[in-house]
Chain A
Amino acid sequence: MSSNTVRMTDVAIVDEPRSTKPAGATDGPATADSGGSGGRRSPSPVFGHPARAREVKDHLARVVMWLAFLLALVPLVWILWTVLSQGYHLLLQSEWWTNSQKGITSRREGGGAVHAIQGTLIQGLTTAVISVPIGVMTAIYLVEYGRGKFAKAVSFMVDILTGIPSIVAGLFIYAVWVTTLGLQRVGFAVCLALVMLMVPVIVRSTEEMLKLVPNELREASYALGVPKWKTIMKVVLPTAFSGIVTGVLLGLARVMGETAPLLILGPYTKAIATDLFGGYMATLPTMINQDRSESLQPAVDRVWAAALTLILLVLLLNIAGRVVARFGSVRK
């Protein structure tokens, strides 16, 4: 039964996009219970003829849901198609994946995005490495230990953090890092701003996963004379593990596409730079931003290609999250 709970989990986080699809609108069997085709059949002797009005309402509801579905789909397909068609050809060149933009001007073709991909990955991973312990431990505190006023306050803070616009997070770190501490704008400062955005996401998703772990398992462990902290480490966390990983991957995907803090704190460079404290460091969003206003074709092409690369990266993380959710969950 606990495996069911873990599966519910997957639905809880991963399947959000699916909810845009009107349930039942696409699958045929739904007509069976709607009574829509009843007019053509001979009326049932017991239940009589389905009311005409209900049939009409049923069709109307279905049409409205379909329209809403298409409406939601149009911009999505449009964006994907534009980015794909404008950006794909650069991605097919091996140079894109092996070179940086060093020494390449807007006028010239060539060069790649390695510097930006590397930067995005390094900053994303650093952010995750800092955020995951903080987020997971906060969630453990809230679910397993948190009682009374302090826990309520923490939970409220997390709610507030969830609502912070990314540019505010960026400016806040700027105020602390640059204005107050007098330090340079560097990749690490970007990571700090991203941590502010990622922690609440991880706290909330981990909290949900921990709450889904049945209390009976905790009690079974206590009844064996296992202390609480060990019960959490060895029973609760493993049971919720795949759900937590999924939450982390989705949070990471979100944070990697974040732009505002990068614009404020992470100055762009065309060369490869891997030092988080070394000042200039390229990322995919800042690479896009760099040539955003260019009208020269080689630069415009690179903007589209960088956008497509970023989308692919985020997509990959999302897929990884789903795979973990599906195959990592406890099976019977």
Chain B
Amino acid sequence: MAKRIDVSDLNVYYGSFKAVEGVTMTVEPRSVTAFIGPSGCGKSTFLRTLNRMHEVIPGGRVEGKVMLDDQDLYGSGVDPVAVRRTVGMVFQRPNPFPTMSIYDNVAAGLKLNGIKGKKKLDEVVEKSLHGANLWNEVKDRLNKPGAGLSGGQQQRLCIARAIAVEPQVLLMDEPCSALDPISTLAIEDLISELKSKYTIVIVTHNMQQAARVSDQTAFFNLAATGKPGKLIEIADTQKIFSNPSVKATEDYISGRFG
């Protein structure tokens, strides 16, 4: 099910501003890839090009190629809406739908895409909540509003919502930055579990987190503000953290800048 991502020579623009330049990388299926780098270097921007969320922003456009197995995401005739069904996303701040119950939040992706049938939905909701390690905490209040959960629970609800549509790739943009250490650990455990089924890409500012959860790590940097961000180095997480081949990576990881 999980798919390989192949990015070659990708430039990302906001209008005339080039935010990210010349990214080439491969993400293996059933692995976790972490993006690290200083603020503003284009990690979120690049991440959002992987499910064509970037073009939701007025003026947002992309040059280059993103392949999902042998499908070109930006090929002509490719429906961005279909792409987003295949490549799910979890955001920095938990954002459950405030008008919907916990159940409806998880079922939202299916319901809004016209899938009906209570039995099927019940099944998917339970499975997804189990998958997000949230079932035991919410099984008695599935009909209560999703916004009534704690921040960490809300984030896991958002993960359940994302995996309910059975994507092949899961993108996570700083999913733990709004959470306490306990919830963070819960989500990290979850990521390690989800790895067996999905290809996962996660943006994080937390070096330990990158070291703990990821198989490979990509370091982004930018020469100066106003200049586009670039991919400096991508390698096995172990190698990046013990013996990076670029000086800037080592400086960043050891906290000497950024």
- Number of A-B residue pairs with CB-CB distance less than 8 Å in the complex they form: 82
Residues of chain B within 8 A (CB-CB) of A331 are 145
A223 near B93: Cβ-Cβ < 8 Å: no
Closest chain A residue to B167, Cβ basis:
A225
Residues of chain A within 8 A (CB-CB) of B112 are 221, 224, 226, 230-231, 234-235
The answer to whether A216 has its CB under 8 Å from any CB of chain B is: yes
The answer to whether A283 has its CB under 8 Å from any CB of chain B is: no
The answer to whether B237 has its CB under 8 Å from any CB of chain A is: no
In this complex, how many residues of chain B approach chain A with their Cβ under 8 Å: the count is 30
A223: contacting residue among B53, B97, B98, B147, CB under 8 A = B53
Given A230-B112, A234-B112, do A225 and B82 touch, yes or no (CB 8 Å)? yes
The answer to whether B1 has its CB under 8 Å from any CB of chain A is: no
Residues of chain B within 8 A (CB-CB) of A239 are 97-99
A219 near B145: Cβ-Cβ < 8 Å: no
Interface residues of B in 83-129 (CB under 8 A from A): 83-86, 88-89, 91, 93, 95-99, 108-109, 112-113
Residues of chain A within 8 A (CB-CB) of B88 are 223-224
A219: contacting residue among B53, B81, B98, B109, CB under 8 A = B53
B145 near A226: Cβ-Cβ < 8 Å: no
Residues of chain A within 8 A (CB-CB) of B77 are none
Q: Contact mask B141-163 → A, CB, 8 Å, 1/0?
A: 00001011000000000100110
Q: Contact mask A222-245 → B, CB, 8 Å, 1/0?
A: 111111001100110011010000
The answer to whether B191 has its CB under 8 Å from any CB of chain A is: no
B145 near A220: Cβ-Cβ < 8 Å: no
CB of A40, distance to nearest CB on chain B (Å): 47
With the chains together, A186 CA to B64 CA distance in Å? Answer: 64
Residues of chain A within 8 A (CB-CB) of B98 are 2-3, 6, 217, 239, 330
Given A222-B84, A224-B112, A225-B113, do A147 and B58 touch, yes or no (CB 8 Å)? yes
Closest chain A residue to B164, Cβ basis:
A224
A/B interface sample: 30 pairs, CB < 8 A? A2-B98, A2-B147, A6-B98, A214-B95, A216-B91, A216-B93, A217-B95, A217-B98, A219-B95, A220-B95, A220-B161, A221-B97, A221-B112, A222-B81, A223-B88, A223-B89, A223-B162, A224-B162, A225-B81, A225-B85, A225-B86, A225-B109, A225-B165, A226-B81, A226-B109, A234-B112, A238-B99, A239-B99, A330-B98, A332-B145
Known contacts A216-B91, A226-B113, then 19 further A-B pairs from the complex at CB < 8 Å, ordered by chain A residue:
A2-B147, A6-B98, A214-B95, A217-B95, A220-B96, A220-B161, A221-B97, A222-B56, A222-B81, A222-B84, A224-B85, A224-B88, A224-B165, A225-B81, A225-B109, A235-B99, A239-B97, A330-B145, A332-B148
Q: Which residues of B pack against A, CB within 8 Å?
A: 51, 53, 56, 58, 81-86, 88-89, 91, 93, 95-99, 108-109, 112-113, 145, 147-148, 158, 161-162, 165
* Pairs of residues from A and B, 3 with the lowest C-beta to C-beta distance, nearest first: A225-B85, A224-B109, A223-B89
